[in-house]
């Protein structure tokens, strides 16, 4: 039975990684260098559904490594770019989401939303810090460039992730 669970877990992780790679490539241009991707939405879903703490690290870590060589990042890009800090943050926030989703809050919607909001703040911090260092900007300028235009879209991603994970939990539990 344990072998079956391990195989199931590996298959689930592989599917999640494949979905992150596919969904992560696409971005919607909104003008003036603002592109919205669905990478973060997928990371929220991964972090809220992984079986173990390590699974989130493995999935997002492999995504980070693959993206250094293959064009799987937003806009079909690869390698280290000014926004690479956000990809680095995925490796931090996926396990963070796992732990925060274990908080003793009975309402699963509230618990998952809190987990996503805290993780989003961590993502913004790491991504903006990397952007500031990469482009030699002050942190305020980096936040204005990399966070402010995206807040409404990221809130929508949180709502979608919570709804999707709730549906998945009902179907598979």
Check residues 31 and 35 and name the one with the higher pLDDT: 35
Check residues 26 and 21 and name the one with the higher pLDDT: 21
pLDDT at 124 over 70: yes
| Res 173: pLDDT | 66
Q: Which residues, in sequence order, are CB contacts of 160 under 8 Å at separation 6+?
A: 41
Count CB neighbours of 68 within 10 A.
13
| Res 35: pLDDT | 82
Give the DSSP letter of residue 11.
H
| E-state strands within the chain | 27-29, 35-37
State the pTM of this model.
0.95
| Res 1: pLDDT | 65
Distance CA 108, CA 158 (A): 13
The pLDDT-based confidence of 170 (bands split at 50, 70, 90) is confident
Select from 48, 50, 51 the least CA-distant residue to 2.
Answer: 51
Question: pLDDT digits over 94-110, tens only?
Answer: 999 999 999 999 999 99
pLDDT at 156 over 80: yes
Distance CA 37, CA 153 (A): 9
Report which secondary-structure segment, H or E, holds 147.
Answer: none
Distance CA 94, CA 64 (A): 12
Q: Which domains does the chain have, with CATH numbers?
A: 2-172 (1.10.1760.20)
Select from 43, 46, 170 the least CA-distant residue to 108.
Answer: 170
């Amino acid at each position: 039975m344990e072998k079956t669970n391990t195989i199931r877990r590996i298959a689930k992780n592989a599917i999640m990684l494949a979905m992150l790679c596919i969904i992560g490539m696409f971005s919607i241009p909104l003008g003036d260098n603002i592109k919205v991707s669905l990478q973060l939405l997928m990371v929220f879903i991964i972090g809220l559904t992984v079986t173990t703490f390590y699974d989130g690290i493995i999935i997002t870590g492999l995504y980070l490594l693959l993206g250094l060589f293959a064009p799987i990042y937003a806009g079909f890009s690869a390698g280290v770019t000014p926004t690479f800090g956000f990809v680095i943050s995925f490796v931090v926030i996926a396990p963070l989401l796992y732990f925060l989703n274990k908080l003793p809050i009975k309402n699963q919607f509230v618990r998952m939303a809190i987990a996503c909001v805290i993780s989003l703040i961590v993502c913004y911090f790491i991504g903006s810090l990397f952007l500031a260092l990469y482009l030699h900007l002050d942190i305020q300028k980096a936040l204005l460039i990399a966070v402010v235009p995206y807040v409404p879209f990221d809130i929508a991603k949180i709502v979608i992730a919570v709804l999707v994970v709730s549906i998945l939990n009902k179907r598979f539990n």
